[in-house]
């Protein structure tokens, strides 16, 4: 398809055109630049980007399915980005989260995309921000981003999402203690899933204590208990998501987060676009220096060469 045809298809919510556009963006195809330039930034104004992270086995995909059913029951059009670790051989997604939410595969108002992290430490591939904007332009009112794992390797999801849910379950023991400080800093809501299992109440009490100061500040409960396998607690969770989102809109937190996200994403793309040049310079700059010192010298030499160029 030509670029104009793809953009027309995007506006008309044609699944085939949307899929091709996302592929162009993911692979930095020949039409990528023109497509991104044509997207309406205002489309993001009415879109909520919800991040879902947590350790493997906590029930993230099951919970995501519950949220999808709840939101579709309200008539919302959804975008789903399932971010998996990359295959070291092919670079493709390993876990295939789309398989776990195939109940919605035939729904034209649910756009599901599985993306590989492609080795990025942040867990989200470099194009995830652009895919979010494409989904917003395709009319998605809520975009769910589910990523694997928890900890510093997954913190990119925080900068991209308007709200981040951390899904936990009883039985992780010392992991909760190790993550508590990080949770307080980066998570908006904690979902204590598998609430029918032993230890669930203790988990809720422990995490409520960790979030106590923030809950007192605005009166919004930050810990929600669910049993995703039985679709219990989904309505309560969505109510808290909507309440917190409204609060963030009111006091400007969402606008600040999105601005910071744009700045960091722009910096990431600068580094990504400079990578081939930098790699070529590194390979042509063989010296027995510490890598940090080599990097400093390469930057100094690059600045010097730029200053010597005629204006």
Q: Are residues 116 and 135 in the same domain?
A: yes
Q: What is the distance between the alpha carbons of residues 170 and 197, in angstroms, rounded to a whole number?
A: 7
Q: Are residues 192 and 57 in the same domain?
A: yes
Q: Are residues 97 and 7 in the same domain?
A: no
For residue 226, what are the contacts with CB-CB under 8 A and spacing of at least 6?
63, 66, 191, 192, 193, 195, 232, 233, 234, 236, 237
Q: What is the CATH number of the domain that holds 57?
A: 3.40.50.300
pTM of the entire structure? 0.85
The residue range of the domain holding 152 is 41-251
Residue 210: per-residue pLDDT:
72
Could you read off the pLDDT of 118-161 as tens digits, one per residue? Answer: 544 333 556 788 999 999 999 999 999 987 655 444 566 777 89
By residue count, the chain amounts to 311
Residue 84: per-residue pLDDT:
67
Q: Are residues 219 and 281 in the same domain?
A: no
Q: Are residues 20 and 83 in the same domain?
A: no
- Closest by CA position to 101, among listed 53, 64, 72, 50: 64
Instruction: Answer yes or no: is 56 within a domain.
Output: yes
CA dihedral 277, 282, 286, 292 (to 10 degrees): 150
Q: Are residues 294 and 160 in the same domain?
A: no
| pLDDT value at 278 more than 90 | no
For the chain, the domain total comes to: 3
β strands within the chain, DSSP E: 48-53, 78-84, 110-116, 142-147, 163-168, 189-192, 223-225
Q: Are residues 267 and 246 in the same domain?
A: no
- Taking all residues of the chain, what is their mean pLDDT, rounded to a whole number? 82
What are the φ/ψ torsions at residue 310 (nearest 5 degrees)? Answer: -65, 140
Span 76-91, average pLDDT? 69
């Amino acid at each position: 398809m030509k670029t104009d045809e793809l953009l027309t298809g995007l506006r008309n919510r044609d699944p085939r055109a949307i899929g091709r556009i996302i592929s162009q963006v993911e692979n930095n195809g020949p039409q990528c630049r023109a497509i991104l330039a044509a997207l309406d930034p205002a489309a993001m104004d009415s879109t909520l980007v919800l991040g879902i992270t947590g350790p493997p086995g906590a029930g993230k995909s099951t919970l995501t399915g519950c949220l999808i059913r709840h939101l579709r029951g309200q008539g919302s059009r959804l975008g789903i980005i399932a971010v998996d670790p990359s295959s070291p051989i092919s670079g493709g997604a390993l876990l295939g989260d789309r398989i776990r939410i195939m109940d919605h595969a035939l729904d034209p108002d649910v756009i599901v995309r599985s993306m590989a992290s492609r080795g990025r430490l942040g867990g989200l591939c470099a194009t995830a921000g652009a895919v979010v904007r494409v989904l917003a332009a395709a009319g998605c009112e809520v975009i769910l981003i589910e990523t694997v794992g928890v900890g510093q390797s997954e913190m990119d999801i925080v900068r991209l999402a308007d709200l981040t849910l951390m899904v936990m379950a009883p039985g992780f023991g010392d992991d909760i203690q190790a993550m508590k400080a990080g949770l307080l800093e980066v998570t908006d809501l904690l979902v204590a899933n598998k609430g029918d299992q032993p230890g669930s109440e203790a988990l809720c009490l422990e995490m409520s204590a960790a979030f106590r100061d923030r809950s007192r500040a605005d009166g919004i409960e930050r810990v929600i208990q669910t049993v995703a396998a039985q679709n219990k607690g989904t309505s309560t969770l969505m109510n808290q998501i909507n309440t917190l989102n409204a609060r963030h809109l009111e006091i400007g937190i969402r606008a600040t987060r999105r601005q910071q996200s744009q700045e960091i994403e722009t910096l990431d793309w600068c580094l990504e676009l400079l990578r081939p040049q930098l790699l070529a310079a590194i390979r042509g700059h063989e010296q027995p220096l510490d890598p940090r010192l080599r990097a400093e010298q390469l930057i100094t030499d690059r600045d010097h060469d730029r200053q010597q160029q005629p204006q």
